[in-house]
Structure 1
Amino acid sequence: MRVLVIGAGIGGLCLAQGLVRAGIDVRVFEGEAGVHSRYQGFRIGLGGPGLAALRECLPPRLHGLLEATTGELSGERRVVDEQLRVTGRLGPLNGGMATDRHVLRHLLLAGLADRVEFGKRFVSYEEAADGSVRAVFADGSAACGDLLVGADGVGSRVRRQLLPEAEIVTLGGNGLLGRTPLTERFAGLVPGFGTVVHGPQLRMLLGKMEFRRPPHLAAAELAPDVELPATGSYLRWGAFLPPHVEALPQDWTATRELLLGLMDGWHPDLVELVRQSDAVNSSPLTVRHAKPVPHWGTRRVTLLGDAVHVMPPSAGQGANTAFRDAALLCRSLTAAHHGEAELLAAVERYELEMLDYGFAAVAASLEQLPTFTPTGR
């Protein structure tokens, strides 16, 4: 069996790691020129079935490195006003870990150098009469396999061909995603799991990414063949702007000044958090979600992660659900590889279960979104 994965994001790479462990031939194709081509550095939370799925797919020798390059993610979720006065609590969450998406992506590339090709922009697929599927790329090349998996994110070209009627909704309003180097002063803003700031014109969501060990140093000791970036600890923040802010400047410096203008009179720690933000790793934030789709009838093309069930970040379930997809699909394909199931039947079981929990996660994320967005958005 040969599996073609379109997209070398964390979901596609997690699947590839699991398939390699299962002895299944897998090839991953990524349109970007390299792993550093695009900003991907923000904190994500891992926990529950998602964290278990990641560990299931990742080689055991890398489990210690995963643990060393994450941070604590537990405790109370405070709601405060713009002066940092506590106005409410959302209840504690425990048992998870925080990780940096860019660092995790490097970790998931470990051992896959001969299986991942960058600079391969997917154009379309063709299903052949002999049961194979052919992926066509913009450079004129092609690859053939027994199954093609679209793990190419919210703008998935695979989804557009497989499910042309599937709808991705872009929610109104503007958001910003910022990253500020962690200091003792800023660490105090997030004493637990996270902090939500309800200000008069905007709302902010604060999360701390404090690595247990510097990723590049942990890799050098625990897995010398793995190269991880020298990313420092930081505080990740999201800001959801009021409806009257209809357009954002292209330049981050100008965008930051706009945000600081909306924060006039706020607590100095919050103002300084934004003022010291890292321009390279801060950007506008577009919030999208997928509308549920019925099962499309199994064929030799399927979908994983944001390519099928993109969701708002409000419940912290996007990456967790993608990892859950990867582990479930890996188990299904392993059964087919061992002759315990027919390939299409195995893929169908994956799709039916994935659609059920995937769109339940979308609904839960939408339900929690008003907690983090300004009234009227």
Structure 2
Amino acid sequence: MRVLVAGAGIGGLCLAQGLVRAGVDVRVFEREPGADSRYQGFRIGLDGPGLAALRACLPPRLHRLLEAVTGPLAGERRVVDQQLNELRKLGPAADGTAADRHVLRQLLLAGLGDRVEFGRAVTGYDATGYQERAGGRVEARLSDGGSAVGDLLVGADGVGSAVRRQLLPGAEVVDLPGNALLGRTPLTERLAALVPGAGTLVRGSGLSLLIGRMEFRRPPRLAAAELAPDVELPHTESYLRWVAMLPEPLGPGPEAWARVRDRLLDLLDGWHPDLVELVRRSDTGNSSPLTIRHARPVPHWGTGPVTLLGDAVHAMPPSAGQGANTAFRDAAQLCRSLTAVHCGEAELAAAVEEYELQMLDRGFAAVADGLGRLSEFTPAR
């Protein structure tokens, strides 16, 4: 059996790691030219089921490294005003794990080698005559004019998924109104006090700031050198991740982050100096405007040689912190299903259908949860 994966994001790579561990032939095709070609996003929080799913797919030799290059995510979540006066508590977060998306992606690439092909996006597929083909195979079309043939194509190519557009042309992804700015600021002793627990929400007039801490247990590059010398991780220092939520965009279209940051600083005039310092010291290379989207629910499409995973099917707002967790659970479940097929314990179509039905229920329940909680963080217009 050969599995083709569209997209080398964390969900697709988690699936690939699990399939390699099970002895299944897998190939991953990614549109980006390389693993470091763009900013990868912010700190993510992993809950118990999400972390367990990730560990189930990773080879055991990388488990100690995963522990070393993540951080704690626990303690009280609080709401404060713009002078840092506490307004209320949201309750303690269940013990979780904070992970940097870029570091985690590099870890998930470890050992995959030439199974991951950068600069070759899946642009579509041909499943004509699927039932009549020997072995029921599907052909993926690639952006460089090439193609690849496998038994199953998994669309893990994110919110703009080309695989989803062909499989589910009527599926909708909705851009939510308002504006969000994503920032990353080096962690200092002074700024660390802004987040004494799992997270801090700052409520201001027409503006909210969500602040979380990404404090690595060990520096990623040094931890890799000791625990898994064949794995190369980036030199990433601990930081605060923050998201500014505004009811309206700061300006028309994409702009240089430095200019957007300066206008945000104007809005923070009179706020507590530590909050102003948080934004002023943000890393311009790792901060950006952020569009918040969500997918509308879709019915089961009828199992065939193509399926979907993660944001490619159930993109969700970050307000419930379930995007990465749900993608890892998708990956682990699909890996178990395909492993059973590989071992002769299940038929491919039945195994994939069972995965899809559970994935749709789980994924769109998480979307609804995220939408229900979004108002907690969105400022009034």
Of 44-53 and 302-311, more deviation after overlay is shown by: 44-53
Q: Which residue is equivalent to 2:357?
A: 352
> C-alpha displacement at 1:245, in angstroms?
4.2
TM normalised by structure 2 equals 0.97
Structure 1 spans left out of the alignment, 5+ residues: none
For 2:280 and 2:51, the matched residues in 1 are separated by 34
Distance 1:194 1:248, change over 3 A: farther
Distance 1:269 1:190, change over 3 A: same
Q: Which residue is equivalent to 1:30?
A: 30
| 1:366 and 2:376 correspond | no
Contact 2:179-2:249 within 8 A present in 1 as well:
no
For 1:140 and 1:328, the matched residues in 2 are separated by 32
Q: Which residue is equivalent to 1:4?
A: 4
For 1:236 and 1:244, the matched residues in 2 are separated by 20
For 1:37 and 1:312, the matched residues in 2 are separated by 25
Residues 103-161 of structure 1: per-residue CA shift (max 9 Å, x gap): 00000000001210000022110014311000111211110000000000000000000
Q: Which residue is equivalent to 1:277?
A: 282
Distance 1:228 1:257, change over 3 A: same
For 2:254 and 2:273, the matched residues in 1 are separated by 24
SS of the aligned residue for 1:114 comes to helix
SS of the aligned residue for 2:49 comes to helix
Q: Which residue is equivalent to 1:319?
A: 324
Contact 1:53-1:327 within 8 A present in 2 as well:
yes
| 1:205 and 2:239 correspond | no
Aligned residues with identical type, % of pairs: 73
> C-alpha displacement at 1:253, in angstroms?
1.1
Q: Which residue is equivalent to 2:168?
A: 163
Q: Which residue is equivalent to 1:253?
A: 258
Q: Which residue is equivalent to 2:300?
A: 295
CA RMSD of aligned residues (A): 1.0
| 1:268 and 2:273 correspond | yes
Q: Which residue is equivalent to 1:123?
A: 123
> C-alpha displacement at 1:251, in angstroms?
1.1
| Runs (4+) off by over 4 Å | none
1:210-225 counterparts in 2 under 5 A? 210-225=215-230
For 1:276 and 1:341, the matched residues in 2 are separated by 54
Q: Which residue is equivalent to 1:79?
A: 79
Contact 1:174-1:247 within 8 A present in 2 as well:
no
TM normalised by structure 1 equals 0.98
Residues 310-368 of structure 1: per-residue CA shift (max 9 Å, x gap): 00000100000000000000001111111111100000000000000110000000111
For 2:164 and 2:253, the matched residues in 1 are separated by 29
Structure 2 spans left out of the alignment, 5+ residues: none
Q: 1:286 aligns with which of 273, 291, 306?
A: 291
Distance 1:108 1:249, change over 3 A: closer
Residues 263-285 of structure 1: per-residue CA shift (max 9 Å, x gap): 11000000010000000000001
For 1:177 and 1:244, the matched residues in 2 are separated by 13
Q: 2:347 aligns with which of 338, 342, 365?
A: 342
Residues 280-315 of structure 1: per-residue CA shift (max 9 Å, x gap): 000001000000000000001000000000000001
SS of the aligned residue for 1:92 comes to strand
SS of the aligned residue for 1:371 comes to coil
